[in-house]
Structure 1
């Protein structure tokens, strides 16, 4: 595997990468809210269910990213104590 590819894979697990992932996930909220408003206006129950499932996916994804970010912080603290 090339060095650049390895570096890119490591970025996703970095603190900066986590923050970018969280921001990207939260950006999806804008589209979900727009779809919810449109579905309500049209009275479309199926679209409302779809929006609810999408919102649950966003919440779950952000929660997983926050948990991983906390693990990174915990590993930093443990590394500092062991050094």
Structure 2
């Protein structure tokens, strides 16, 4: 494993990495909202279902990220 890959994996498991992941996931939610609005405007049921499934995936992803962030916070000696 290259040093850059090791740093990237370490960053993903850090608080700043978790915050960045939450921000990018939340930014993806904006696209899903736009897709849902367009689908409702055009009465496109299939696109609306796709937006709903994407929204469920985003909610699940955010829940996982918040859990990871909480886990990182519990391990922090300075916070306890």
Query: Shared topology, TM-score over 0.5?
Result: yes
Query: Gapped runs of 5+ residues in structure 2?
Result: none
Name the TM-score, length of structure 1 as normaliser: 0.88
Aligned residue pair count: 80
Query: Gapped runs of 5+ residues in structure 1?
Result: none
What's the CA shift string for 1:5-26, capped at 9, x where partnerless? 2111100000000000000000
**More helix by percentage:** 1
Instruction: Show the 5 A alignment for 1:9-24.
Output: 9-24=9-24
User: What root-mean-square deviation, in Å, do the aligned CA atoms of Structure 1 and Structure 2 show?
Assistant: 1.6
Higher mean C-alpha displacement, 22-31 vs 2-11: 2-11
Q: Which runs of 4+ in 1 moved over 3 A?
A: none
Identify the residue that residue 35 of structure 2 maps to in structure 1.
35
Deviation at 1:80, TM superposition (A): 7.2
Identify the residue that residue 52 of structure 1 maps to in structure 2.
52
Distance 1:4 1:51 in 2: 35
Larger gyration radius, structure 1 or structure 2: 1
